[in-house]
């Protein structure tokens, strides 16, 4: 066991150093930050879709409270940093629009079907969850397909990009963000049953660490933590290799995207943290003495549902300007109004997804029960 | 998640059929296959993407660099 753990540490260090040597120190640091996210979230059990489901089904608000703490801690530093480093840092700022709200709603629904959001799918795939491994492949394709229609969705109608600090100043925007988070926290507290309101120390530590890594991500990458852009980029590169003229499409011909498409993914900040997340989850899997069982075998049609839901997850998160991480977590923590719209629409979709899940994810009948039925 | 995971069907006693068989392959093999696929993708990317010039890589941190961020984010608007 000890030799396995030493090997895992060496593997992580060699990977980060190798990437730093090839693609520069920023890339190496971002892989380390991704590893930090992965180790923290997988190792300490902080997620996004699970806590939303537990709040609805079991009136357990502890995970949601931890999310709010993480977002609040990040906002405390991120919003002032964006004001100080306006020429070097950007926030996750996007417009609230019809496509954005619909995308967040559908994403919230589908994330309950594939057992994870953007980060959750990466983490679960890295820790060997077969449902997430299947969904990750189609998520990537869906995220690329979303880039092909993003302009159409944007033209359906949207507000201008609005941030709370833009409306009320840096201090006012930060205070309003914290007050709104407090308000959501009170709603969660009210919904949760006694004993399932205050997050455990483990979750609070995880929230603090995630906030710390999110701030480091902002300082080093120059932009907040995101997931979906990297997955869409991987899909675009795959289709490019297959002969599709991706560079001629509207989204991928825009200067920033064209540059990413031509460059190695080892220079794309979102790809780097995504890689770190998957490897961090793998390290946690191998670090532990006991490996949890694989997910239950599903009916063939349920696997098709998982694949389709992954595709829709990718597509919807692209038109929603991010998943739970890029839209909800980073949107709110950098003051964007679209983060709050994402929360409302995503949570509404999630409550429907929770109900759908038991109908569409049907496990295979156990052999004994099947024999008895025959 | 390695511990019994309430997000995962078949590992949560409240929602899974007690004797539902686990899917195959197992977790470790799926995780290794995921990493192998990612490695394959990276190798393909290194072969097809522009070579990285070590003298043109971005500074270690965007903050304090004096340069506008060169990244792209999920929140990027439609062109």
Kindly report, residue by residue over A96-151, the tens digit of the pLDDT: 999 999 999 999 999 999 888 999 999 999 999 999 999 999 999 999 999 999 98
The shortest C-alpha distance from B14 to chain A (Å) reads 11
pLDDT in tens, B18-34: 457 887 788 999 999 99
List of chain B residues whose C-beta atoms are within 8 Å of the C-beta of residue A278: 34-35, 38
Asked if the bond preceding A143 is cis, omega within 30° of 0, the reply is no
Chain B nearest-CA distance from A364, in A, is 6
Q: Which residue on chain A is closest to B13 by alpha carbon?
A: A296
- Other CB atoms within 10 Å distance of the CB of residue B66: 9
> Cα(A368)–Cα(A154) distance, rounded to whole angstroms?
53
Interface touch A260/B29, C-beta < 8 Å: no
Nearest to A137 by CA among A122, A117, A119: A122
- Beta carbons of B2 and A290 less than 8 Å apart: yes
**What is the distance between the alpha carbons of residues A118 and A125, in angstroms, rounded to a whole number?**
11
Among B23, B33, B38, select the one facing A294 at the smallest CB separation.
Answer: B23
List, as one string, the DSSP characters of B7-72: TSTTS-TTTS-TTPPBPSS-HHHHHHHHHHHHHHHHHHHHHHSPPPPTTSSPPS-STTS-S-----
First to last CA, chain B: 38
Report the residue from A219, A228, A284 with minimal CB separation from B62: A219
B1 and A131 in contact by Cβ < 8 A? Answer: no
- A 10 A CB-CB count for B8 gives 24
The mean per-residue pLDDT over the stretch A220-248 comes to 95
Interface test with B, best of A264, A310, A320, A356 (most B CBs within 10 A): A264
Measured distance CA(A65)–CA(A51) in Å, rounded: 9
Decide: helix, strand or coil at residue A21.
helix
- Sign of the torsion formed by the C-alpha atoms of A334, A336, A340 and A345: negative
Q: Quote the CA–CA distance of A26 and A187 in Å, as a whole number.
A: 40
> What ipTM score was computed for the predicted complex, to two decimals?
0.88
Residue A327, classed as helix, strand or coil, is helix
SS3 A97: strand
Q: Is the dihedral of CA A186, A190, A195, A197 positive or negative?
A: negative
| CB pair distance less than 8 Å for B9 and A254 | no
Q: Do B10 and A296 touch (CB under 8 A)?
A: yes
Judge residue A175's burial from the number of C-beta atoms within 10 Å of its C-beta, 0-12 exposed, 13-18 middle, 19 or more buried.
middle
Residues of A in contact with B18 (CB under 8 A): 366
Q: Residue A296 forms beta bridges with which residues?
A: B22
- Residue B14's pLDDT band (boundaries 50, 70, 90)? very low
> What is the per-residue pLDDT across A276-335, written as a single tens digit (0 to 9) for each?
999 999 999 999 888 888 888 888 899 999 999 999 999 999 999 999 999 999 999 999
For residue A284, what are its two tokens?
């946690």
Q: Is the CB of B59 less than 8 angstroms away from the CB of A26? A: yes
Residue in A96, A130, A64 with CA at minimum distance from that of residue B25: A130
pLDDT digits (tens, 9 = 90+) for A137-180: 999 999 999 999 998 999 999 999 999 999 999 999 999 999 99
Could you state, in order of their start, the residue ranges of all structural domains in chain A? 3-373
Task: Kindly identify which residue of chain B lies nearest to residue A234, measuring between CA atoms.
Answer: B41
Q: Give the gap in angstroms from C-alpha A224 to the nearest C-alpha of chain B.
A: 8
Answer yes or no: do A266 and B42 touch at CB < 8 A: yes
Verify whether the Cβ–Cβ distance B75 to A254 is below 8 Å: no
Give the list of residues 6+ apart from residue A283 with CB closer than 8 angstroms, or none: A8, A11, A12, A35, A38, A39
Taking contacts as CB-CB distances below 8 angstroms, the residues of chain B near A59 are: none
Chain A residue whose CA is closest to B78: A151
């Amino acid at each position: 066991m000890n030799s396995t753990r030493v090997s895992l540490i060496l593997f992580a260090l060699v990977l980060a150093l190798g990437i730093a040597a090839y693609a520069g120190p920023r890339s190496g640091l971002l892989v380390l930050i991704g590893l930090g996210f992965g180790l923290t979230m997988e190792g300490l059990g902080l997620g996004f879709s699970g806590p939303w489901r537990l709040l609805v089904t079991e009136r357990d608000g502890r995970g949601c409270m931890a999310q709010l703490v993480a977002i609040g801690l990040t906002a405390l530093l991120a919003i002032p940093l964006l004001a100080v480093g306006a020429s070097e840092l950007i926030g996750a700022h996007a417009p609230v629009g019809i496509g954005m709200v619909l995308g967040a709603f559908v994403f919230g629904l589908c994330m309950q079907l594939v057992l994870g959001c953007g980060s959750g799918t990466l983490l679960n795939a890295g820790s060997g969850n077969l449902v997430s491994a299947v969904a990750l492949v189609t998520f990537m394709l869906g995220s690329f397909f979303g880039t092909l229609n993003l302009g159409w969705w944007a033209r359906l109608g949207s507000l201008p990009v609005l941030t709370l600090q833009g409306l009320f100043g840096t201090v006012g925007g930060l205070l309003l963000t914290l007050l709104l988070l407090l308000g959501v926290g009170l709603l969660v507290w009210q919904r949760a049953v006694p004993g399932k309101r205050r997050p455990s120390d483990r979750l609070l530590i995880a929230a603090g660490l995630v906030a710390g890594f999110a701030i480091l991500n902002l300082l080093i990458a120059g932009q907040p933590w995101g997931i979906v852009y990297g997955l869409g980029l991987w899909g675009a590169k795959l289709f490019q290799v297959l002969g599709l003229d991706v560079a001629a499409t509207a989204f991928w011909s825009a200067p920033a995207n064209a540059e990413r498409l031509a460059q190695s993914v080892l220079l794309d900040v979102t790809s780097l943290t995504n890689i770190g997340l998957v490897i961090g989850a793998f390290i946690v899997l191998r670090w532990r003495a006991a490996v949890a069982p694989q997910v239950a075998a599903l009916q063939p049609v349920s696997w098709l549902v998982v694949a389709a839901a992954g595709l829709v997850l990718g597509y919807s998160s692209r038109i929603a300007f991010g998943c739970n991480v890029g839209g909800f977590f980073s949107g709110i923590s950098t003051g964007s109004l679209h983060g709050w719209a994402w929360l409302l629409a995503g949570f509404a979709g999630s409550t429907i997804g929770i109900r759908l899940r038991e109908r569409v994810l049907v496990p295979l009948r156990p052999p004994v029960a099947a024999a008895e039925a025959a | 998640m390695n511990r019994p995971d309430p997000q995962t069907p078949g590992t949560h006693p409240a929602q899974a059929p007690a004797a539902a068989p686990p899917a195959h392959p197992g977790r470790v093999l799926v995780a290794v296959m995921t990493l192998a696929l990612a490695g394959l993708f990276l190798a393909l990317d290194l072969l097809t993407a522009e070579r990285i010039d070590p003298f043109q890589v971005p500074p270690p941190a965007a903050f304090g660099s004096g340069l506008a961020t060169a990244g792209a984010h999920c929140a990027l608007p439609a062109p």
